[in-house]
Amino acid sequence: MLSPPGDDRGGVTVEAAFAVAALVAVVVLGVGGLAAVSAQVRCIDAAREAARLAARGDDGAAVDTARRTGPDGASVEVRRDGGRIVARVRVRAPLLPGVTVGAEAVAAPEPGA
């Protein structure tokens, strides 16, 4: 049976459904943001350790350590750029499609390395 025009019955249900959907979206984006920040911090740590080890002359251990320290699935790049060593770690942010987080660390090579 149809409600007469101007009757507001059922309006609260629709508003509650929209409110719940908006709340879920905000929570998912918030959790995704926290996961991205966590991945960023792990990338910073991994890049720093990789640059430090490569500066000591241990390039193999630098990449291995960065892969262990960084987030799962992160790409690790260690290169010599002139008189310095650059380590870069990047990964796609979990729960946020299209967002990539990463870090770059620079170190001066130690003498004899």
The pTM for the full model equals: 0.79
pLDDT in tens, 21-69: 999 999 999 999 999 999 999 999 999 999 999 999 988 899 999 999 9
pLDDT in tens, 74-87: 999 999 988 899 99
Beta strands in the chain (DSSP E): 75-81, 84-92, 100-107
Tokens of 21: 């959907």
How far is Cα 62 from Cα 50, in angstroms, rounded to an integer?
4
pLDDT tier at 2, thresholds 50, 70, 90: low
Cα 82 to the chain's mean position, in Å?
29
Q: Which amino acid is at 85?
A: I
